[in-house]
Chains A and B, each alone.
Chain A
Amino acid sequence: MAHIADGLLSVPVLLCGAGMAAAGVGLGLRRLDDRLIPRAGILAAAVFVGSLVSIPVGPSSVHVLMSGAMGLMLGIATFPAVLVILSLQALLFGFGGLTTLGVNTVNIALPGVVFAMLLGPAIRRAGHATTRAALAGLVGALSVAGTGGLVALSLALSSSDYAPVASVIIATYVPLMIGEAFVTATIVSFLARVHPDALRPVTS
């Protein structure tokens, strides 16, 4: 449940999320070269489609977020891409909400951007395929864990009533972390073999 619906969060949390999202999206758009908009847009469409695939993990099944992979491919332009994906999901499926668009964008994009920035250089330099896959898996797992933590934090900060629910939500992120780690590792290995250029973020 990475998408928080309308009507749950308190106004200060919503405003804080919207402000942070606006800053991230603004910075991402400024760094995004005009000529690279088709690339960012079509990649966002691919991630939108990818997030619809349901993958079995243990007794449950998960939908991958691909935020770690997005961070590696798009850099800070992940913020506008996530905003666009969330708007489309709200428009086409009614997931998430209108007032929570900012909070949800930050919750999903921020961990992906941060961990891709930290581990991305090592992934691009990695000489060994196994090292690269392990690092990529780490980016995927950490990004999802970050999103889970931020979702729980947004709920807990809004009202102390949500604290027990927040801990339940963190527990539901464990299978997602496992699935995301393996899938991100494979995606990055695949891209490194087939299209190494893809791992260079579109933003400088």
Chain B
Amino acid sequence: MFSVAVLVAALHRTERRLWSRLLHVEMFALLLFVTLPFTMPGPTLATLGPLHVSSTGLWRASLVALKVSACVLVLLVLLNGLEPERLGATLRALHVPEKLTRLFVMTARYVALIREEARRLSEAMRARGFTPRSNRHTWRSYGNLLGMILVRALDRAERVQEAMLCRGFAGHYPDVPLPLPRSRDWALFALLLGAAVLAVTTDRL
């Protein structure tokens, strides 16, 4: 399962980002490797002073690490490059409550904008000679930065709300037309489903 996932990820346009994301997840696996071999009872593989490295523990840690990595790779490859707006429209078509999808689309729409604003604010801080250190001044400065981001977000929300009312917003967006699934989409879907079922059955047998 893991090797298949790695293969798919390698065939997919691999970006460097993908591997750095995987690294983030492996931190947890590393923790397991540090603790499990010593805490799980089982046949002793090696001895480090008073500690015994058990092969069961090592096996368990490897299994969990492979499982988690496979999950991350599959999710990243499947979702890579999907636009939030498209996902919002799809969720709406799948009858997810409209309020939730509207919240999702609204948030996705403004993340890039607010990120740009935050970048400008922190650049201004740096221009005034701010260097982050581990002290109260730094934490207060970051608190003010985040507070400023929130205040600007609230002002923006008010303007957006008024603009929506001006355009006659009456409780729901017009539906975004989604392209109908073509035969190629169905074939790919069947292929994926088949691969998943195959992976699960070979695991169980």
Contact = CB atoms under 8 A, between A and B. Distances in A.
Interface stretch (A3-11, A106-114, A116-124, A142-150): A3-11
B71 interface: yes
B178 interface: no
A194 B151 contact: yes
Of A53, A168, A183, A189, the most chain B CB neighbours within 10 A belong to A183
Given A39-B154, A183-B143, A183-B146, A94 B75 contact: yes
Given A42-B107, A46-B153, A168-B31, A182 B140 contact: yes
B87 interface: yes
B189 to A, nearest CB: 17
Chain B interface size band reads: 35 or more
Nearest to A34: B171
A124 B145 CA distance: 21
Given A55-B142, A182-B139, A195-B154, A8 B64 contact: yes
Interface in A37-67: 37-50, 52-53, 55-59, 64, 66
A106 to B, nearest CB: 16
Given A50-B149, A64-B146, A91-B79, A5 B71 contact: yes
Given A5-B72, A6-B71, A37 B150 contact: no
B19 to A, nearest CB: 11
Contacts of B70: 7
Contact of B111 (A45, A98, A186): A45
A103 B34 CA distance: 25
Interface in A77-127: 80-81, 83-85, 87-88, 90-95, 97-98
Of B31, B149, B150, B153, the most chain A CB neighbours within 10 A belong to B150
A23 interface: no
Given A90-B75, A186-B144, A187-B146, A6 B153 contact: no
Of B64, B87, B100, B156, the most chain A CB neighbours within 10 A belong to B100
Contacts of B158: 39
B14 interface: no
A49 B36 contact: no
A191 to B, nearest CB: 6
A25 B100 CA distance: 9
Contacts of A95: 21, 24
A25 B154 CA distance: 22
Interface in A7-40: 7-8, 25, 29, 32, 34-35, 37-40
11 contacts: A38-B164, A41-B157, A43-B150, A43-B153, A87-B104, A88-B104, A161-B32, A183-B146, A186-B143, A187-B143, A198-B154
Given A1-B28, A37-B103, A49-B111, 5 more contacts: A39-B158, A45-B106, A90-B79, A190-B147, A190-B148
Interface of A: 1, 5-8, 25, 29, 32, 34-35, 37-50, 52-53, 55-59, 64, 66, 69, 73, 80-81, 83-85, 87-88, 90-95, 97-98, 161-165, 168-169, 179, 182-187, 189-191, 194-195, 197-198
Nearest 4 A/B pairs, CB to CB: A186-B143, A41-B106, A190-B147, A6-B71
